[in-house]
Amino acid sequence: MRAIERLPRSVEANVTGPVLATGAGHAAVMGAGDPDSGEPTPLAGLLVVVLPLLLLAFGLVSIAQWSDSRRAEEMAEIDAAVITDDIPIAVYADRGFGVFLKNTRQ
């Protein structure tokens, strides 16, 4: 009880940027500011917001490109199988022919 009575009633903090909770009652201030005035620079605030968005956009574009290239490779394999096999023309009209080719190549 004595230890609780000694705790300060209110704690004021001078936060100069977005706050990241780190657990155990601690927090980290993200971004850099002017150490003399205690204010964040506009560039630091902009970087804190824009950089994660740019990284997210880059990641999404990379995933889309990878997915498209993978799909193109699968289609190229099917095309190569169609061109190189000796198959009657009527087989190409069959709806299950693409599925058959995929299953036989695996």
CA angle 57, 61, 62 (to 5 degrees): 115
DSSP 8-state class, residue 14: -
Q: What is the DSSP string of 18-64?
A: -EEEEETTEEEE-S-B-TTT-PBPHHHHHHHHHHHHHHHHHHHHHHH
pTM of the model: 0.43
pLDDT in tens, 39-98: 667 787 788 889 999 999 999 999 999 999 999 999 998 888 778 877 777 777 777 877
Q: How far is CA 65 from the centre of its chain?
A: 14
8 A C-beta contact, residue 48 and residue 28: no
Domain span at 9: 2-105
Number of domains in the chain: 1
pLDDT in tens, 19-32: 555 555 555 555 54
